Chain A
Amino acid sequence: MILFYNKKNGNVFATIDGRVHDKKQLGCYVCDSNNKKEEIGKFIIGWLEGKDGNRVEYNLDKIKLLEKFEDITTESPLEYKIDLKKGTLIKK
């Protein structure tokens, strides 16, 4: 999953779903009137896959949290933010 956050305040405002992303998907982004393109950052939980099929892990220490986001629960990535000092995902 790719989580999009505002680099000024760490607020997570959108996601792109999935566990394995390719370079093309990594080039995608979400922005809005309140979160401009130059202000957004990406936090990935899962794998990035290259053309050769090799996969690089990203933040797999958060895989259980990703499963909660995917699960039929009320846990939503929009309830989280990025701790801008530590670069980690924390609850708002």
Chain B
Amino acid sequence: MGDYGAIVSRKGFEVKTCADRFLVYSSAFPTLKVFNVSSGSTTIPTSGTNTITITHNLGYFAPYLIVYNGSTTTGVGTSNLMSDNDSYLNTRQYTNKLEILVDAYFDQYESSQGDTVYFTIYLFLDKLETYSAPTINTGTSSGSSSTDYGFRVSKAGFDVKTCADIDCVVSSSFFTNLVHRKGLLTGSSFYHGLGYVPSYFVYEYNATGGYIQTDNLALQNIQYIDSNHLYYDSGVGTGDGIYYLILKNTS
């Protein structure tokens, strides 16, 4: 029996035959949904830790991305993803709240104690649980279509015909994050089977603390991905596993 639903391909790709990773949208694959985007600030203390808390009450671990937007000293013209200018951001994601911890050594070579520091926080709605999307089309991309017409959904309160692209929920003009696999990896590897290196999110689980974090992600071989597997070394870091979210996207 044939599959049913809706698919939208990226510009220039034949919608009926292109591989899954060239789709903007498919009813077969969840998209990574943004629950909330917020901004926050605090000061770099002379001792101890200042904490920004975003209470989300989702009831489960959810993916997140935090951008450090700068400080009083550096200005806000340049932003860093998940790091200051020297090291990882110190973050804790619980099932009901997300914390950003700023201690006296935050951005120590570029900013100063007493500086106000600024952040933009993306919190996603999707639950970090075991999930496996189907694989429908793979392999050689086929058909190069030059005709195109599209699909556009605006955010609440925005006119879909006139709003800016940034005010769309989804648009066939832009690729989206289609979810391929997600779950908790406690063993040494997980077979994602895409055959190419995908985009992914990963967070280390701290069972004792009851949170997930990104501080340890560079510890030797704690995590890396190749064209078929995600790898994890439980001998470093907390040893409690890594939550992963693997997307169909590649570059």
Contact = CB atoms under 8 A, between A and B. Distances in A.
Given A19-B13, A20-B12, A47 B146 contact: yes
Nearest to B143: A67
B142 A67 contact: yes
Interface in B168-219: 194-196
B141 A67 contact: yes
A22 B60 CA distance: 40
Contacts of B11: 18-20, 49
B249 to A, nearest CB: 10
Contacts, number: 36
A14 B146 CA distance: 24
Interface residues of A, number: 15
A12 to B, nearest CB: 15
A67 B140 CA distance: 7
Interface in A16-58: 17-20, 46-47, 49, 55, 57
Given A47-B12, A47-B146, A72-B195, A17 B251 contact: yes
B92 interface: no
A19 B227 contact: no
A3 B12 CA distance: 17
A83 interface: no
Interface residues of B, number: 18
Which residue of A46, A57, A60, A72 has the most chain B CB atoms within 10 A of its CB atom? A72
Interface string B141-156: 1101010100000000
B196 A20 contact: no
Dominant SS among interface residues on chain A: mixed
Nearest to A45: B144
B40 interface: no
A71 B140 contact: yes
Which residue of A18, A19, A49 has the most chain B CB atoms within 10 A of its CB atom? A19
Interface string B4-35: 00000011110000000010000000000000
A63 B145 CA distance: 11
A72 B138 contact: yes
Interface in B101-158: 138-142, 144, 146, 148
Interface of B: 10-13, 22, 138-142, 144, 146, 148, 194-196, 227, 251
Given A47-B12, A55-B146, A72-B195, 20 more contacts: A17-B251, A18-B10, A18-B11, A19-B10, A19-B13, A19-B144, A20-B11, A20-B12, A20-B146, A47-B146, A60-B144, A63-B144, A67-B140, A67-B144, A70-B22, A71-B139, A71-B140, A72-B138, A72-B139, A72-B196
